[in-house]
Amino acid sequence: MSVWNPENIKDVAESIGITSLSDDVLQGLCSDIEYRIAQVLEEALKFMRHSKRSTLTTQDVTQALRVLDVEPLYGYESTRPLRFGEASIGPGQPLFYVEDEEVDFEKLINAPLPKVPREMTFTAHWLAVEGVQPSIPQNPTAADSRNQELVPKGQSANPHMAAMSGNENVIIKPLVKHVISKELQLYFEKICSALLDESNNEYRIAALASIRSDPGLHQLVPYFVQFIAEKVTHNLKNLFVLTQMMLLTTAMLENSNLYVDPYIASIVPPVLTCLVGRHLGSSPDPLAAYDLRRLSASVLSSITKKYSKSSHMLKPRLARTCLKHFLDPTKPLGANYGGIIGLQAIGGPEIVRALVVPNLKEYEELVKDAIDAMDEGRKNEGEMVIKALLEALVSLEEESVGTVNGFTNGHVAEMRKELGEKIGDLFAERVLELGKPKLVKGIMEC
């Protein structure tokens, strides 16, 4: 028993000149029609679900027919729901049709004419000068470019045509590929292979020197940035690769011919990873990664000095990240060390006075535990952290105003007590061992 009415098949057959059809043929055609309709509806429901809708539209059916390589039905696509009318052509034979909208010719004729389009004009301007885009009204800014991405493109650019096809809110982003010359591609491959060649030191030095001074590398900047991020992400256990990526970053920043400003947001994460990462390198010696952390701090210092004026939030965000890793007791001492030297690299004595000195007394307990530990590696890490803190505090000596002659024997005990209350007894003892009265004065003035 079929759901489809065989009489419909007979009517279609008679309209094309076939007057006699056997019952077996009718039954087979009914089963095939039911299968084809179910197949079309199944594909159309997929489009409906992927569009996050609960109502099946004629556009879904049209897309399903295209997927099944069937010519779509014309005349049924509309953004408005269709109104069906019913007419009777005989007893028990209703006929359904789509009601056509009645148009009043008088209103159509008296409607105002559309606006006359503007006259076409042409002008010329510089798109870029030596790789730098000039700030003129014709060149869009970064904010304008992001807004342009949301403008409909392609077939849906015309709102009237989009409405007719049911694509009023469709956003089509063009596929734009950045094409570079074969020479630059070969240069990029040679530089990458040279930097990762551990056996040839001269080859690596020559590659870094080329990046540091070559003026024609504008198009390769995004590729180098992506290369750095990829290698840092996948080689956290390889100190050689991480070191080379920081040297590559330094070379790019030192090249005055490169415009690196738009890529600073992508360069900073790999640098922070090498600075405050939990576990860097696979060596059993925990001090092996400290040279990499110092190199990363110098890179961060260069970024801050060069780009903090153009990006006002860069310096506070970096300081917040380094302070978080400095004061987090759950982080290893290597991450604390990276946070300390990172803070000093970002802001110098100003940040040391505002963020490091007020937190030393609370941080003292963590360093004491490391110094008193039986593990030689942890004890060495504690000494490295103390050394970094003393280097940060010494920078306050230059900022101290006035001169100090020295301490008398009676004054040393009093000063040790006051200094211990401010930065902790352990750090106070280490500071007094340096024998710098001006440094003590600078710390007490914080």
pLDDT at 245 over 90: yes
Last-in-domain residue among 98, 126, 156: 98
Query: Is residue 122 assigned to a domain?
Result: no
Asked if residue 196 belongs to a domain, the reply is: no
Give me the mean pLDDT over the 355-371 stretch.
85
Q: Are 324 and 339 a contacting pair, CB within 8 Å?
A: yes
In this structure, the answer to whether residues 171 and 67 fall within a common structural domain is no
* Arithmetic mean of pLDDT, 344-356: 87
Among 20-24, 93-97, 99-103, 378-382, the range scoring the smallest mean pLDDT is: 93-97
387-414: per-residue pLDDT in tens? 988 888 888 876 555 555 555 555 677 7
- Mean pLDDT of the region 214-231: 91
Residue 110 within any structural domain of the chain: no
* CA-to-CA separations, 111 to 40, 93, 108, in angstroms, rounded: 42, 42, 5
- Report d(CA 260, CA 245) in Å as an integer: 16
Give the C-alpha distances (Å, rounded to integers) separating 146 from 143, 149, 167, 414: 5, 5, 21, 62
Distance CA 119, CA 196 (A): 58
**Burial track 32-59 (b if 16+ CB lie within 10 A, e otherwise):** eeeeeeeebeebbeebbeeeeeeeebbb
CATH number at residue 381: 1.25.40.770
409 and 361 part of one domain: yes
pTM of the entire predicted model: 0.58
* Any domain includes 334: yes
The answer to whether 384 and 337 have CB atoms below 8 angstroms apart is yes
Q: Is 240:198 a contact under the CB 8 Å cutoff?
A: yes
Residues 75 and 162 in one domain: no
* Placement of tokens 């640098």 in the chain: 271
- Residue 43 located in a structural domain: yes
The dihedrals phi and psi of 85, each to the nearest 5 degrees, come to: -105, 160
If you average pLDDT over every residue of the chain, what do you get?
81
Q: What is the DSSP letter of 152?
A: -
Q: How many CB atoms lie under 10 A from the CB of residue 293? A: 24
DSSP notation for 191-248: HHHHHT-TT-HHHHHHHHHHHHH-S--GGGHHHHHHHHHHHHHH-TT-HHHHHHHHHH
pLDDT-derived band at 155, boundaries 50, 70, 90: very low
Domain co-membership, 315 together with 408: yes
The answer to whether residues 29 and 79 belong to one domain is yes
CATH number at residue 65: 1.10.20.10
Per-residue model confidence as pLDDT tens digits over 251-273 = 999 998 888 888 898 999 999 99
Claim to verify: residue 163 and residue 220 sit in the same structural domain: no
- Of residues 446 and 177, the one with the higher pLDDT is 446
Q: Give the pLDDT score at 360.
A: 86
Both 160 and 222 in one domain: the answer is no
Quick check: is 323 in a domain? yes
Counting other chains too, the contacts that 158-165 makes at CB distance below 8 Å and 24 or more residues apart are 163/79, 164/77, 164/78, 164/79, 165/59, 165/77
107 within a domain of the structure (yes/no) = no
* Segment among 187-201, 380-394, 431-445 with least mean pLDDT: 431-445
Looking at the fold, whether 158 and 83 belong to one and the same domain comes out as no
Residue 103 lies inside a defined structural domain of this protein: no
On whether both 52 and 164 belong to a single domain, the answer is no
Contact 162, 59 (CB under 8 A): no
pLDDT in tens, 164-183: 445 555 555 555 556 788 88
Instruction: Report the candidate in 435, 438, 348, 357 with the shortest Cα–Cα distance to residue 401.
Output: 438
pLDDT of residue 212: 92
Same domain, 157 and 243: no
Q: How confident is the model at residue 46 (pLDDT cuts 50, 70, 90)?
A: very high
Q: Look at residues 80, 98, 116 and tell me which one is the last residue of a structural domain.
A: 98
Least confident piece of the model among 139-148, 217-226, 245-254: 139-148
Q: Which residues are CB-contacts of 361 (< 8 A; sequence separation ≥ 6)?
A: 421, 422, 423, 424
Domain extent, residue 80, equals 6-98
> Does residue 76 share a domain with residue 163?
no
Residues 253, 353, single domain; the answer is yes
What is the tally of structural domains in the chain?
A: 3
Query: How many residues appear in the chain?
Result: 446
